[in-house]
Structure formats: structure tokens, C-alpha cells
Structure 1
Amino acid sequence: MAFFTHSNLKNWLPGTLGVIAVFALLAIAGISHNRASTATTQVAASTSSPAAQDNAPAKPAANTPATPQAAPAKTAAAPVAKPAASHEDSHTAATPKAAPAAQAPASTTATANPPAAHDHAMAMTPAKTAPAKTAPTPPAKVAQANPVPSAAPTASAANVEGDVVHGREVYKKCQACHSTQPGRNGLGPTLAGIVGSKAGDVPNYSFSAAMKQSGITWTPEKLDAYLADPQKVVPGNKMPFPGLKTEADRTDVIAFLAKANAAPAASGANEAAKAPSAATPAPEPAAQAPATAHTYVSDAKYTLRSGIAGGKMVFIGVGGTIDGKANPILTAVEGQVVQLTLINGEGAEHNIVFPDQDARSPRVLGKGASTTIVFRAGKAGDYLYYCDVPGHRLAGMEGQFLVTNTATPQTTVEADISRDPADMPPPIGKRDPKTVRVDLFTVEMEGRLAEGTTFGYWTFNGKVPGPMVRVRVGDTVDVHLKNSADSNMIHSVDFHAATGPGGGAAALQVDPGDEKSMTFKALKPGLYVYHCATPMVAEHIANGMYGMILVEPEEGLPKVDHEFYVMQGEIYTEAPYGQHGSQEFSVEKLLAERPEYFVFNGSVGAISKLHPMHAKVGDTVRMYFGVGGPNFTSSFHVIGEIFDKVYNLGTVTSPPLHDVQTVSVAPGGATITEFKLDVPGNYTVVDHALARMERGLVGQLIVEGEPNPDIYNGKVMPGMGH
């Protein structure tokens, strides 16, 4: 027909197709509107139904895509409608603080084999990371072999009331076994997304049968009950957690867990607050002691990093009281040895010059490069430091260096947990065997880690290390271990000198507020370590729970003039070395064996500034040295001395070694060293892995008396070493 000629088709076909497209769009819009109306009606009916008040967990929606992530919070919290829901499926879980989020789709990916069962009753569900816009959940007619994991709680979970700051402190006690990161299981399951989740439903984690069969949904009320008495809520669980006894601790840690998993709001203001101010800061008091002849030890240490602040090139303080400050005021006392490290923070070429002190650093090239200079502070006065790369001083890289006549007096307000090395029982000597009672009291307390820095220590008898125990071979040791009612953890003790299960730890796992006892016979003479042996054992040790027991031989040990008790340990904090304030323990750094601090007797300066050892020329000294660890071997050395005798590995039945410079002591090991003092002066005690001095590991033996030029003839310069 002529109608279908090429010219007619050219005129009519586009119009016809356009009309068809319009009708199709109208039809689609109508269908979408009807579906939306139906869904709205069903949601309203569901939320108004009395069944919505039930505490049963919400069932996964079928045949309906998950709510998109960009949807408003109130939409995400509403149950997703089903075209044909059974009576059972119509029930929704009513949580006290927030409605449950839309369910994420079940993963079809094969999961890795779960870790061995921890039997830890803290069975909690992590936030799922699958995006809400992925494929819909399987249709209702498909049988589910396993329950669909709960979705991550919405930001409304953070509305759980409580003191989040205090809750974070309480949570420190949980870090040994748990994390708050989704998918990161440790000895216990991750706590990510706990509020509103179902017990025993964390991917890739093997729960105890008691937890799997509990049927618990972790509402805030249920969490509170569980944290108060885990065994009552989940009978048959075997994890070493006695519960939190105070309502405030429970409420606040629940609030912290809810807050920790809420989506953080990005804030430019927060980043701006972190930027160092270019304004001239108030002078910081001199934080160091007056100059003394401390071999190897600088009196004042500072670290500066080049950077930009307030639109200017500046030096930025790193650590301590100058942390984050632009061009901070540096202080020292006349005659003090000053050590300054310069780090290139942004890549331009820099150096630092103290012209009045005749001190100049090499230039550092490239981001991350660093250099260190050491100089002696001159006469008291107000001086400058700056970068003398052309143009940099004018661009802002200039600060103030104050030298004072005397150091500013310091008041130590933090609890001193460090044990004086002279604090030990007297020698036993020769006597018959008997029963010796040993009382140990485990205390968790905040104590001084360094100047202006505290840490949550776990201790035996309130000090690190714990008390030196002294018995004779053949004695019966009657151990009484009491755990403070204020503790959050079970504690125990393993004596390396004991023969039997756990070195006593198998019989001495003590709940907070309880006390247990056991006895063992001291069969072998020698110097031995003891430590807490409650999981995670490494954390208990790193937090300070170690000490030593000396089992003397029948005839006792040879007499000396002074005995000292020194132990080495590591401390793993979230913040870098030198940060002020209360420091949090880092499980991640512990497991990676990356300590921020190395310490003698529990803290920085414990046996140098706070409790230095004292003796006189002509005295004989015996040092009982052990390594609590938990991870690093020590190369024990006293600078300027040679050990006359070394009872290697802590044995006193083998002949001692003679004329030894350095002794290797493994974690959990010990040694006994003896030497006679011939020359007066300050002797520095170190681990000869000397970089550890920069992280706090140094001690002092101060020897007074007349010079002995036949042995040592030279002028001693303060702060100098070899």
C-alpha cells in the first residue's frame, strides 16, 4: 500500500513511537505509585500492631531489596514489607533505644574455617559490611540452612545513654580478647554491632554450645544483666570473665560499644583543631633535673618536626608538653646536656641552629628524614633557635630557647607504682626448712608511666615488679592470692620455682573479691620469675604482673654489702612514646611486638630519677635481674663496670662465670650479677640494645667515695659517655 511508502514511514513512524513511549512511562509510574502506597500501608500496620512490642528477633524480609544506604534513618529503621508474610514473620523486635535496621542480604560466599572455640560468653555480632544496595534476600520459599546475620545497627544505636568516656576506660579490660572492628575476631568475637544483635552469630567465630543455644538478643537490658553475672545469664560458659560489679561500669561500657559502632560524622572542624597553632605558646617549665654526671643520659630531650601552621613554615613539637605546638619554647638548665631530634615533615630542605649554644644540625632532605644533635646548655638567658636555610627563618621557622639557673621543682601527682630496687627481704642464711607464707594481692590501678603520663597497671601488691619472695631450698611455700574487689579481671600466679600444673596457676585463678591458696615445695635453688597466668597471659604480664622468687641454697649465698632487685618489661600503648595523659593499652601492638616503652621496675625513670641505687667505693653489690617481658630479651649491662661473678640463667648450684661484660636474659628468665665498686661516679644500667634507652630503659647506680686515680684518672664531664 502507498501508506507504507518510504516517505510516509519517514513522516509517521517517529510520532507513533513517541506516543507509545508516553503511554509506557505513565503505566510504569502508576505501578510504582501503587506499590509504594501498599508498602506504606503495610509498614504503618506493622508498626502499630501490638506484635511490634514483642522481643523476638526481626525476621529477614523476603522478595524485597534491602533499604538503600542513602535512605533517611527513620526509613532504614522500619521493617521491610513482605507481599505475603506469615503470622510469625509479622513480628518485629522492639529494642529499648533504637529500632532495628533493615536486614542485610545473606552472603553466598564460602566462609573461612572459624578459630578454635574461646568459650567466651561475650558472644556478640559484628556490623556487617555488605552494602544495602546489593542483591535482595532470597525468596521466602527458599529454606535457610543458617540464620541470616543481623544487620549493622544504625547510628541511632549511639543513643544508648551513659558516660562514653568512662565506658572507654572500662572497655580497656576487654581489649585482650575483643575488638570493636567488624570482622576482626580475637580470642573472643568482635564486639562490633553488639547492641541489638543476636548472641552466637558472629561470622568466622566458633562459640560454645551454651552461647549458641542461649537464644539471646543483646538489648541494653540483656547486656547489663549479662555483664553483671555472665554465668547466670548464660550458664555453662567457660570464659575467664567474672562480670562488672557496678551499674555505672556496665551502663557506660554499653554506651561506649553502641557509640563505637555508630557511623562517625565527618568534621572539618575536628581536623582543624588538630592543626598546630602558629601563635607563640606560653613558656613550658623545665622538665628535667639539674645537670649531673649521668653517663649516656641526656638531661633534656626534644623532638621537632618541620611543617606548616597558620600559613607559615614552622617547627612543630612532637611528644611531651610541646606536642603539636608550633615553634614551642624549649627549656633547659645551665650545664644540662640537650638532645634534639629534627624530623623533616613535608619534604623541603631544613636544619636547626642554636647560634648561642654553638649547635647546628645537618640538613635533612626528603620527607621523613631525621637527624639528632646534642649540646650543652650555656649560661642562663633567653636565646633563639631557627632554620638557616635561606628564607626559612623569615618564613616562620624560629623559636625561643630558655636556659634557667635551676630546674623548676616538680610535684609527682601520679601514683608511683615502681618498686625501689632496694626493697627486698634480707638474706636467709643457713637454717632448717620451714613453711613460709606468701601473701599476694592483685590490684588494678592507674599509675605513673612517665612525667605527665599515666597507665592502667595490673600489679601484685601495688608495685611493679611484685614483691621479691625469698625462701630456702626445702621450704614449703604457702601462697595466698587475693584479688581486689575493684578488679575487672580474674588474676593468678605462676611460679617458675614450683613443680606442678601451671606453676600454681592451675589452682590460683581468683575472681575479683575472692582469695585462694595453695602450697608447693621449693625443690631447686636459684632465682626464678613469677607472673600472672590468666589469658591473655601476655597482656597481664605487659601490664605489670611479674616478679621474682629467690630460692637460696642450704648454706645461703655469700655476703655482700648491697642487694638490688631489678626487672625489665615492655609497655604497649595506643599513643606513641612521650605522649602525656592517661595512656590506653594496645593489644595490636602487643601481638605485633611493637612496644612504645621499655622500662626497669615498671616506669620511665623508676631506678634513675625516682629510686636510683646507692653504694660506696669498696662496696660489693649483687643485682638480682629478671625479664618480665613478655617479648624481648635483655642484654643486661652496667656501663663502666665488669661483673666479677655471674650466676648465669639464675642458677646458684653451678659455678658462677667470672669477668663478664654483658649478660643475655630471656623473657621469663633471670640472672644474678656481683661486682665490687672501685671508682666513684654515676654508673648507668642499661639493656645494651641501646635504642631502648630512648624509650625509657635506663637506671642509675650512684657511687660515692674517694677517687682512685690508679684505676681511673680523668675529669668526668656531666652527661658524657663512650
Structure 2
Amino acid sequence: MFDTTRRRVMQALGIGGTAAVAGCSVEAPTASETTTERRQVEQTSTPTVDQVAADPTDIPDPIDRSQPTTHEVTLTMEEVTAEIEPGVTFDFMTFGGQVPGPMIRVRQGDTVDLTVENSEGNALPHNVDLHAVYGTGGGSVATTAAPGQQNAMTFQATYPGAFIYHCAVPNLDMHISAGMFGMILVEPKGGLPAVDRELYFGQHEVYTDGEVGQEGKHSFDIESMKNENPTYVLLNGEKYAWAAANRGPLEVQQGDRVRVFMVDGGPNYSSNFHPIGNVWKRAYRDGGVPEDGDFDAYADKNIQTVKVPPGSCMIGEMDTPVPERIKLVDHALSRVARRGMLAEVDVLGEEREEIFDPDAGGTSHEGPQYA
């Protein structure tokens, strides 16, 4: 099914003498070239799917071994049509049909045999640049594939941390905005500290020719992207994807230590990632973790808001001493109130009035009240 001929890649990319094969070109793609790519997607019979919002709980287990190993990993590029919110559809570009793409979890010193498959029904070439890779373009040149193709490479994960991976063809900002980003987590040799729950999120902007909530099919809009004026700012590819108003809230038990992984695909906005009603008890900025195992000395502690630049990640841990609804937001709050950037986590358990008493004013409440 999959062809690995390099000539087909070059033809699909339309590579000229002054453009790079992958990543940021010497000459940036013109608006006309970007519009042509958009039309190629729209004119292709793109399958419609029920959701692209990745399940935040669907991530690999923590690594529990002391020796390196070799992983065989396949990333499949899928161009699909899905709802951003009810009645509003958009043509997404994805790794594995989800936003963010599947988390890849390895250990420092592991080897990864990575295969990239560009589905035959797709309209455009794709590849992957992993920030955890020493190598040209983070591997993007080696993995560039036209529709119906696959390419492969091998790399060793030599430094630990949480790193973005993303598509890096010449129109990379368009491809990332449309959903082509994810996280590769390289655990240090001694592993990460034990926690009770882990959750995985990805933030990105979507630039369309419609307004928020305008029903119908939205097309990608190059001018909005050039002006960095998105229609939506999303967490996991849908408006309020994992909030109570949509597919959430997520649930944890009182007393759980909860670790949150977040990757900011951008392509342009930094996130100001904040848990309303909680705090990052430990925060690892830009996804950095210690190689010597001294997490307590390395982490920032009791951080209210972590800046996550586009193309970077964060790891944050929360304690959950009281029942509540935690709202995970970008504290540029118009993105929450008006553009869709929110997830919610319910902490289930018994009230502890010495920490938080919602009835101190004598008001009667029926069940937990959430801000």
C-alpha cells in the first residue's frame, strides 16, 4: 500500500531550488501556495469522524525498567473532517486521527524505530519533527512522505524531558494549526516520581473564515493566520472538549496527586496554563526534568500559572485535598470565555471544612458548587 519513492515526495511538495525539503523554507510559502494546499484538502474526499479530541487519560503507562530497549513506533497521518463545536466542521490534519497526536513515551537511552505513514486518501505530504531528536530537522527530512507513502528513521532518545513533535513541511504553521502536533516524553533513567493519575492535553489555535459558533463548514484562512487572529483557541481540538459542557468533566479521587502533561502546538500563541481552584504543586517548565533524579530541588513549587511557549511543553502536578471542579485554562481568559480553551477535572470525595467551607456564609447548597 505504501510507497517510499523519494521522487514522489519531491513532486508532492513542489520543491524548488530555494526551498528546504521540510521545515521552514528559505522562501516562505506564499498565500497562493497555502490556499492551494487548503483547496487540495477540501477537494479530497476527506472522511468525517465523530471526534478528533484525544482522550486525556489515554496515555502510555509510566516506565518501570532500568535498562534501555528499542521501540517500534508508527505515526499515521490522517486528514479528517470533524466538529470543532456542534454544527461547526473543519478539515483537520492529525497524527492518528486525534489532537494532540498520541503520546510517545520512552526512557532516556532507548532507541526508537519510527515509521511515518501518510494515508493514501490524504491530499498533502506530511512529516514529523521531534524536538527529542538530534538530527536534521528533528527527523522531518527523513520522514517526509507523500499521500500513500511511508518513510522511516531510527533515533536514540539521549536527553530527558517532555518535547513536542509536529509536522514540518513548508506550510508547517497551517499543518500544526490544523492539528498536527503531539508530545514525546523521554523519562530520565530513574523514571518520574510516582503519582496517582496522569492527564495529557494539547493547546492550539485554529484560523478559519468563519466566526466562533457560525454553523457550517469552516475553511482554513491564511490571512487570519498571518495576522495571528484565530477563530478558536482549543484544548484537544474541540471547543471545551473535556469540560462538562462537552465530553467531560474528567474525574479523579480526593487525595490523588495528578500529573498533567501539556504541549502547546501554537503555531503562534503562548499559553498561560493555570488550574483554577488549585496550583501547580510542582511545575517543570518547558518540559525539563532532572537527569540526577533530584526532582524536589529541580521543580518550581506552588506555581499559579506556567508560561508554555508555542512549540514547547510543561509538566505540572496538583494535589487534590478537597472536592471541587478544577478548570484548566489559558489565563488569557478571553480565549476561555470566547474561543473554547477549557478542560475540567472533578475531584470526588468528602468535604474538609478546615481547608474549604463553601457553606460558611450560611447559604444552603445542593451538592458541590463549582466556579
TM superposition score normalised by structure 2: 0.84
User: In structure 2, what is the Cα distance between the partners aligned to 1:666 and 1:527?
Assistant: 13
Q: Deviations over 1:605-662 (max 9, x none)?
A: 2111214321011111000111011000000000010111111221111711111111
Q: 1:504 to 1:414 in 2, by over 3 A?
A: closer
Residue 249 of structure 1 deviates from its aligned partner by 5.3
**Paired residues of 2:165 and 2:182 also in contact (CA < 8 A):** yes
- Structure 1 position 186 matched with structure 2 position 83: no
Q: Amino acid of the residue matched to residue 710 of structure 1?
A: E
**Paired residues of 1:598 and 1:696 also in contact (CA < 8 A):** yes
User: In structure 2, what is the Cα distance between the partners aligned to 1:560 and 1:552?
Assistant: 14
Match of 1:56 in 2: none
- Structure 1 position 665 matched with structure 2 position 302: no
User: In structure 2, what is the Cα distance between the partners aligned to 1:580 and 1:186?
Assistant: 26
Match of 2:281 in 1: 644
From 353, 358, 362, the equivalent of 1:714 is 358
From 266, 270, 273, the equivalent of 1:629 is 266
From 698, 701, 706, the equivalent of 2:342 is 698
**Paired residues of 2:60 and 2:103 also in contact (CA < 8 A):** yes
User: In structure 2, what is the Cα distance between the partners aligned to 1:481 and 1:553?
Assistant: 25
**Paired residues of 1:421 and 1:611 also in contact (CA < 8 A):** no
**Paired residues of 2:35 and 2:222 also in contact (CA < 8 A):** no
Q: Amino acid of the residue matched to residue 251 of structure 2?
A: H
Q: Deviations over 1:396-431 (max 9, x none)?
A: xxxxxxxxxxxxxxxxx9621100100100001232
Match of 1:119 in 2: 16
User: In structure 2, what is the Cα distance between the partners aligned to 1:638 and 1:469?
Assistant: 25
Q: Amino acid of the residue matched to residue 330 of structure 2?
A: D
- Structure 1 position 566 matched with structure 2 position 201: yes
Structure with greater contact order relative to length (CA < 8 Å, sep ≥ 6): 2
From 80, 85, 88, the equivalent of 1:453 is 88
From 57, 64, 68, the equivalent of 1:422 is 57
**Paired residues of 2:126 and 2:146 also in contact (CA < 8 A):** yes
Percent identity between the aligned chains? 39
How do 1:259-270 residues align onto structure 2 when only pairs under 5 Å count?
none
- Structure 1 position 681 matched with structure 2 position 324: yes
From 206, 225, 245, the equivalent of 1:590 is 225
Q: Amino acid of the residue matched to residue 442 of structure 1?
A: M
How do 1:343-354 residues align onto structure 2 when only pairs under 5 Å count?
none
Q: Amino acid of the residue matched to residue 434 of structure 1?
A: T
Residue 539 of structure 1 deviates from its aligned partner by 0.2
**Paired residues of 2:34 and 2:171 also in contact (CA < 8 A):** no
How do 1:212-223 residues align onto structure 2 when only pairs under 5 Å count?
none
Structure 2 unaligned segments of length 5 or more: list them. Answer: 1-13, 18-27, 360-364
From 482, 493, 497, the equivalent of 2:128 is 493
Provide the aligned C-alpha RMSD in A.
2.6
User: In structure 2, what is the Cα distance between the partners aligned to 1:189 and 1:542?
Assistant: 13
Q: 1:672 to 1:436 in 2, by over 3 A?
A: same
User: In structure 1, what is the Cα distance between the partners aligned to 2:250 and 2:152?
Assistant: 34
Q: 1:445 to 1:670 in 2, by over 3 A?
A: same
- Structure 1 position 556 matched with structure 2 position 200: no
Q: Deviations over 1:649-705 (max 9, x none)?
A: 211117111111110000011111112101102111100000101110111001110
**Paired residues of 2:34 and 2:222 also in contact (CA < 8 A):** no
Q: 1:189 to 1:589 in 2, by over 3 A?
A: closer
Match of 1:603 in 2: 238
- Structure 1 position 579 matched with structure 2 position 223: no
**Paired residues of 1:606 and 1:612 also in contact (CA < 8 A):** no
Q: 1:578 to 1:673 in 2, by over 3 A?
A: same
Q: Amino acid of the residue matched to residue 207 of structure 2?
A: Y
Match of 1:482 in 2: 117
**Paired residues of 2:272 and 2:308 also in contact (CA < 8 A):** yes
Match of 2:77 in 1: 442
Q: Amino acid of the residue matched to residue 535 of structure 1?
A: P
Greater helix percent: which structure? 1
From 233, 247, 253, the equivalent of 1:616 is 253
User: In structure 2, what is the Cα distance between the partners aligned to 1:663 and 1:586?
Assistant: 30
How do 1:500-515 residues align onto structure 2 when only pairs under 5 Å count?
500-515=135-150
**Paired residues of 1:419 and 1:464 also in contact (CA < 8 A):** yes
Greater strand percent: which structure? 2
How do 1:221-260 residues align onto structure 2 when only pairs under 5 Å count?
none
Q: Deviations over 1:60-106 (max 9, x none)?
A: xxxxxxxxxxxxxxxxxxxxxxxxxxxxxxxxxxxxxxxxxxxxxxx
Q: Deviations over 1:173-222 (max 9, x none)?
A: xxx95xxxxxxx6364998xxxxxxxxxxxxxxxxxxxxxxxxxxxxxxx
- What SS does the aligned partner of 2:242 have? helix
- What SS does the aligned partner of 2:101 have? coil
User: In structure 1, what is the Cα distance between the partners aligned to 2:370 and 2:135?
Assistant: 50
Match of 2:172 in 1: 537
Q: Deviations over 1:299-328 (max 9, x none)?
A: xxxxxxxxxxxxxxxxxxxxxxxxxxxxxx
How do 1:159-198 residues align onto structure 2 when only pairs under 5 Å count?
186=31, 188=33
User: In structure 1, what is the Cα distance between the partners aligned to 2:331 and 2:35?
Assistant: 40
